[in-house]
Amino acid sequence: MQELPKLQVAVLRELAHNPTRRFSDMMVVTGLTSDSFKFHLRKIVEMGLAEKNKVGEYELTPEGKELANRFDYEKRTPLKQPKLTTVSFCID
Whether pLDDT at 27 is above 90: no
Domains along the sequence of the chain with CATH = 6-78 (1.10.10.10)
pLDDT at 73: 57
pLDDT at 34: 85
85 near 18, Cβ under 8 Å? no
Average pLDDT along the chain? 80
Whether pLDDT at 89 is above 70: yes
Whether pLDDT at 81 is above 80: no
Confidence of residue 90 (pLDDT cuts 50, 70, 90): confident
How far is it, in rounded angstroms, from Cα 64 to Cα 49? 4
Quick one: CA dihedral 27, 31, 33, 39, positive or negative?
Answer: negative
